[in-house]
Amino acid sequence: MAAQDIPNGFTGFANRKPGFEPASASVGRTPVGAYTTEGTPLSGVPSTYGSGAQGAFQYARDHARPDAGAANFDPDKLRLIPATDRRWAWTEVDLGVVRHNMTALKQHVGHGVRVMAVVKADGYGHGAVRCAKTALNSGAEYLGVATIDEAIELREALVNAPILVLSQPPMEAIPLLLAYKVMPSIYTPDFAIQYAEAADAYSIRAPYHLVVNTGMNRIGVRHDEVVEFMSQVSFHRALDLVGTFTHFATADAPETLDFHIQTKRFLEALQAMKVAGFDPGIIHAANSAATIRYPDVHFDMVRPGIALYGLHPCQETRTMIDLRPALSVHARISDTRLVPMSEGVSYGLNYRSPGSVRICTLPLGYADGMRRGLSGRTDVIMEGRRFRQVGNICMDQCMFEVDLRTYGTRRRIDPQIGDEVLIVGRQGDSIVTLDDMANMLGTIHYELSIGFAQRMPRLYV
Range list of β-strands (E), 335-419: 335-338, 344-345, 351-352, 357-362, 379-382, 385-390, 398-403
Q: 427 - beta bridge partners?
A: 430
Percentage helix, strand, coil for the chain under 3-state DSSP, each rounded to 5: 35, 20, 45
For residues 281 and 279, give the distance between their C-alpha atoms in angstroms, rounded to a whole number. 6
Total residue count of the chain as it appears in this document: 461
- Residue 366: active-site member: no
d(CA 323, CA 307): 7
- DSSP state for residue 452 in the 8-state scheme: T
3-state secondary structure of 439: helix
User: Under 8 Å CB-to-CB from 184, ≥6 apart: which residues?
Assistant: 164, 165, 168, 169, 177, 191, 195, 208, 209
CB 339 within 8 A of CB 363: no
Catalytic residue among 106, 120, 133, 187: 120
Burial of 70 (0-12, 13-18, 19+ CB in 10 A): middle
Residues 354 and 229: their CA atoms lie apart, in Å, by 68
Instruction: Mark whether 181 is an active-site residue.
Output: no
Distance CA 280, CA 268 (A): 12
Positions annotated as catalytic residues are 120, 347
